Amino acid sequence: MSIITFLSSPDRKLSWKNISIFLFCLTILIVFYLLPNPEGLTYEGKMMIGVLITAAILWITEPIPLAVTGLFIMILQPLLFIMPAQEVFSSFGNQAVFFLIGAFIIAGAVEKHGLHRRIALGFLKRFEKSPRSFTFGIMLSCALLSFIMPEHGVVALFVPIVVSILIAMRIMPRESNFGKISMLSVAYGCSIGSLGTLIGGARNPLTISELSNIGITVGFFDWMIIAVPVVFISLPLVWIILQVMFPIEIKDISHAKKEIEAQVAIQGSISRNEKKVALILSGTILLWILFSHYSYFGLAGIALLGSMILFFTDTINWKDVERKVPWGIILLYGGAITLGAGIKTTGAGAFIAAQILSQVNENPYLIMLLMIIITIFLTEIMSNTGAVAVLLPIGIAVAQGVSGVSPFLAAMLIGLAGGLSFMFVIATPGNAITYSAGYYTLKDLTKTGIIANVTCIIVLFTVAIIYWKGVLGL
């Protein structure tokens, strides 16, 4: 089940299966409490590993909402005498949390006034020459829009647009390769594009939050310099995979052109509020690029400044914020931050890293490859923010004990790999939402996703070695 499904279903009923999973997690904590402390690990570190395992199980199986698991992680630490409540909750006040809140408010204003739809239709109009170029246009448009909006918001925008075009073309669900590619282009384009900036997904600011805990500051433009090459190399390769897997049978897309023109006409001329939001968004991004690396203001200060200006210009109100900001993701994210802080502070991360290093002979390239593969695998079966939260403190601790892999490099490998999940419906909101449209099967998603995953593993690993290490010196 995707994050969106969870956050939109607050009245879910607990089944016996879910109760059993929760009791199993409590049993794990009891076992860890009774076990003697391993050599080199304190009681706090031992119990923090138990909390880590519990968090992973709850995020994978989801017997309770993901946001509630985030709260559960926070309260477990003082309950089990791992860390004082004041110290745990102070981690929740990390500036990355407020960056997310500000970014979500700005994205909410963009959505409220339809600016994102205008941008999307403007992109698509430039790719009307052929069916293949049109599907590439869908993927590229989704990726670029994911630079300025959270990926699940972009998916929610594009699916109805693409469905209306497919209906106008009389494309039947699951009977047309063009329909399959169009929908998968939305899902995969948003996933890949979400790597490009700190706005694309919650795991991105979570990554820089973990780095800030070890004294490494990453600005908005710094992230783009590192991540954007991965986006623009992966995007055409995954598009080619789709073309090979599903040869397009459609020759004429005149109906698609007419539908886009009709939707553009309905959109009308740009409104005054759209112009205001576009100006504020552009100004906020410019400030992020120029000043986000200054610790006195930072990403969060700029994000909140941009959101405050939206209120002052009357382009958004608090009721809009209540509806459009996914507060559950904020709670999930906050719990993930406290998990990472606890693993680092108690020494649990260093202990786990030592066990891993003893098994891989400290080969830097093998360690880098394993970080990517493990992250992508875990992201396929659980929330990508949860997966990155579990692996970041461990990966950073591993890197601190290996020559040739810096903590910065390790964090970026895990943070970006967390967005490259293409195989399963539960992997990302994009996969879940596009699958629900009915144009492709689970088999279509899995067989394409396997090849896309392997391709992106190779891309990320190659970029890390040649560009990150060789050119940027990470």
Q: What pLDDT tens digit does each residue of the chain (474 aa) get?
A: 333 443 344 445 558 888 899 899 999 999 999 999 998 899 999 999 999 899 888 887 888 887 888 899 999 999 999 999 998 888 777 777 888 888 889 888 988 888 888 888 888 888 877 889 999 999 999 999 999 888 888 888 888 888 888 888 888 888 899 999 999 999 999 999 999 999 888 889 889 988 988 888 888 999 999 999 999 999 999 999 999 999 998 887 777 778 878 887 888 888 999 999 999 999 998 888 887 766 667 788 888 999 999 999 999 999 988 887 888 878 887 888 888 888 888 988 888 887 877 777 778 899 999 999 989 988 887 778 778 888 898 899 889 888 889 999 999 999 999 999 898 876 777 888 888 888 998 899 989 999 999 999 999 999 999 999 999 988
How far apart, in Å, are the Cα atoms of 5 and each of 142, 343, 426?
Answer: 21, 29, 10
Quote the pLDDT of residue 294. Answer: 65
Query: What number of CA atoms fall less than 13 Å from residue 344's CA on the CB side?
Result: 24
Q: How many domains does the chain have?
A: 1
CB of 383 within 8 A of CB of 66?
Answer: yes
Q: Identify whether 286 is part of a domain.
A: no
Q: Identify whether 67 is part of a domain.
A: yes
Give me 330's structure tokens: 């904020």
Quote the pLDDT of residue 4. Answer: 40
Q: Identify whether 336 is part of a domain.
A: yes
Residue 345 φ/ψ, nearest 5 degrees = -65, -40
Quote the pLDDT of residue 3. Answer: 39
Q: What is the pTM of this model?
A: 0.81
Q: At 136, which amino acid appears? A: F
Neighbours of 439 (CB within 10 A): 26
As a whole number of angstroms, the distance between CA 145 and CA 203 comes to 17
* CB-based contacts of 117-126 (< 8 A; 24+ apart in sequence): 117/157, 117/161, 117/267, 118/267, 118/270, 118/274, 119/145, 120/145, 120/157, 120/158, 120/161, 121/161, 121/260, 121/263, 121/264, 121/267, 122/264, 124/161, 124/260, 125/260, 125/261, 125/264
Quote the pLDDT of residue 14. Answer: 59
Give me 86's structure tokens: 């004041």
CA 117 to chain centre: 21
Q: Identify whether 321 is part of a domain.
A: no
Q: Identify whether 283 is part of a domain.
A: no
**Mind giving me the DSSP string for 366-432?**
HHHHHHHHHHHHHHHHS-HHHHHHHHHHHHHHHHTTSTT--HHHHHHHHHHHTT---S-GGG-HHHH
As a whole number of angstroms, the distance between CA 14 and CA 127 comes to 47
Give me 278's structure tokens: 């576009």
Q: At 25, which amino acid appears? A: C
Q: Identify whether 298 is part of a domain.
A: no
Domain of 432?
Answer: 3-92+114-270+326-472
Q: Identify whether 55 is part of a domain.
A: yes
Q: Identify whether 434 is part of a domain.
A: yes
CB of 73 within 8 A of CB of 51?
Answer: yes
Nearest to 235 by CA among 452, 405, 15: 452
